[in-house]
Amino acid sequence: MIAQTKPSPQAAAAAPAARERRPAAIQAVRGMNDVLPDEAGLWEHFEDAAREVFGQYGYRNLRVPVVEATPLFVRAIGQVTDVVEHEMYTFDDRLNGESLTLRPEATAGIVRAAIEHNLTYERPQRVWTAGPMFRHERPQKGRYRQFHQFDVEALGFAGPDVDAEQIVMLARLWRRLGLDGIRLEINSIGDPDERRAHRAALIAHFERHRELFNEDEQRRLYANPLRILDSKNPALQPAIAAAPRLVDSLSDPARTHFDGLQQLLAGHGVAFTINPRLVRGLDYYNRTVFEWVTERLGAQGTVAGGGRYDGLFEQLGGKPTPACGFAIGCERMVLLMQDSGVVPAAVPEAYIVHVGEQAGKFAATVAENLRDAGLSVVVNAGGGSFKTQMKRADASGARFALIVGEDEAAANRVAVKPLRSAGEQVTLAPGELAARLAAQGEDSGAR
């Protein structure tokens, strides 16, 4: 039992001061952002459009954990990559000491799940997933430590028809969102044999420029020379520009695949440029790689990227399964939508202002009936004068204020005041409201 003692006079005097001494507020972790309601509408607008367009092409949702065993990412993404070497949030399970990692991307987890559940046993699968990814990068505009992706994978398709399908699907998504100025870059990084030959040629080439290398590049020269092509080291750019290009020495099957992709894209009217330097930052790719890039976001202009990864299933212990996929960076999409003036219409149709007890009950019933009719309605909460409530109605963005005082409640009537157009205020019976709001909504929307 806790002994109850009376506080001393000194303690009692100090109590108010103690109450005022608030602890310091805790802030979000650097590089990990809140999405506040004013911005979340834009996120939802993008997510709804993505889900709808992916669904139109037969892609179905699949959800995988945010935490996976660390070796999954090391094996899939590659030991000598920025992501695995520098950027993973890795920790030991506190009970059994197993090394776990917050997913830096979704493809590895999806392939793990596909193998574990034998997902492609009967037929190939088109799937998508969405959610947070974690990379310990230096935060800046468009680059964060927790960021979000919409990730799409076609599992069990050898292409190039499915490679083209995914690119055409993205072009449709940009159109659906009213975005332009996103250009497409494609490349082929070939198959394992020519990649091995290219690797040897790259090492021979870069050995002649070793004096320009920083520490990372020294190490990567023999471990993963392809990554040197990604280097931002300014001194190295001329050597990178002069490096042998894999796209010039593709095997016949890889060349046929790449030509096929280009013909399909041209047939769909999707413009592209071939960027022989496009290699992507993850090691699992072969043949097709692509990125959608905008100039409007500064240095972090790649809004989506992906490609083919025919060897990954086997690398992770599964049966050989060709596959292709991509991911869209949601933060960059939202930045681009803001820059392009995309405005989602996520505001309520009506805000109900009510003064008086009977009016409050009547307002709640009216709101429920309007919601039954599919309308979105906010009921004033927390009281307030008529004037205060009208200000809130305006700030809510609603097109109409529905006004109920005691007189209206007694007469079973509601006053309808347009907030975004010059229309007259009218008084209606509850049963007339839904049709009137919908009709007037179209009026004011067209204005």
Write down the least CB distance from residue 279 to ligand HAM, Å: 11
Cβ-based nearer residue to ligand HAM, 126 or 209:
126
Max Cα distance, the chain (Å)? 92
* 379 and 354 Cβ atoms separated by less than 8 Å: yes
Write down the least CB distance from residue 20 to ligand HAM, Å: 40
Q: Is 43 exposed, middle or buried (0-12, 13-18, 19+ CB in 10 A)?
A: middle
Write down the least CB distance from residue 86 to ligand HAM, Å: 12
Cβ-based nearer residue to ligand HAM, 151 or 194:
151
Number of H helices, E strands in the chain: 16, 16
Torsion of CA 106, 111, 113, 115, to 10 degrees: -170
Nearest residue to ligand HAM, by Cβ distance, number only: 329
Helix, strand, coil percentages (3-state) for the chain, rounded to 5, are: 45, 20, 35
Write down the least CB distance from residue 115 to ligand HAM, Å: 15
Write down the least CB distance from residue 401 to ligand HAM, Å: 40
Take residue 130 and report the two structure tokens written for it: 């969405």
Cβ-based nearer residue to ligand HAM, 307 or 418:
307
Give me the residues paired with residue 140 across strands.
Answer: 143
Cβ-based nearer residue to ligand HAM, 312 or 416:
312
Cβ-based nearer residue to ligand HAM, 325 or 405:
325
Cβ-based nearer residue to ligand HAM, 299 or 410:
299
- Residue 440, SS3 per DSSP: helix
Angle subtended at Cα 363 by Cα 374 and Cα 385, rounded to the nearest 5 degrees = 125
CA distances from 56 to 46, 52, 265, 409 (A): 15, 6, 19, 47
Phi and psi torsions of 418, nearest 5°: -65, 135
Q: Which helix (H) or strand (E) holds 357?
A: helix 357-372
Cβ-based nearer residue to ligand HAM, 336 or 416:
336
Cβ-based nearer residue to ligand HAM, 336 or 359:
336
CA distances from 292 to 83, 254, 264 (A): 20, 22, 17
Burial 134-156 (b: 16+ CB within 10 A, else e): bbbbeeeebbbbbbbbbbbbbbb
Write down the least CB distance from residue 414 to ligand HAM, Å: 47
Write down the least CB distance from residue 167 to ligand HAM, Å: 12
Cβ-based nearer residue to ligand HAM, 138 or 447:
138
Write down the least CB distance from residue 306 to ligand HAM, Å: 4
Cβ-based nearer residue to ligand HAM, 283 or 408:
283
Q: Which helix (H) or strand (E) holds 132?
A: strand 125-134
Residues making contact with ligand HAM (CB under 6 A): 105-107, 135, 137, 142-144, 147, 149, 151, 153, 281-282, 302-307, 309, 325-327, 329, 331-332
Cβ-based nearer residue to ligand HAM, 82 or 406:
82
Write down the least CB distance from residue 205 to ligand HAM, Å: 25
Write down the least CB distance from residue 333 to ligand HAM, Å: 8
Return d(Cα 141, Cα 28) in angstroms, integer. Answer: 17
Write down the least CB distance from residue 57 to ligand HAM, Å: 15
Return d(Cα 154, Cα 381) in angstroms, integer. Answer: 48
Write down the least CB distance from residue 224 to ligand HAM, Å: 16
Return d(Cα 115, Cα 320) in angstroms, integer. Answer: 10
* Sheet strand arrangement including 60-61: 60-61, 125-134, 146-155, 323-329, 302-308, 286-294, 182-188, 273-274
Return d(Cα 165, Cα 100) in angstroms, integer. Answer: 35
Cβ-based nearer residue to ligand HAM, 103 or 209:
103
Return d(Cα 40, Cα 35) in angstroms, integer. Answer: 6
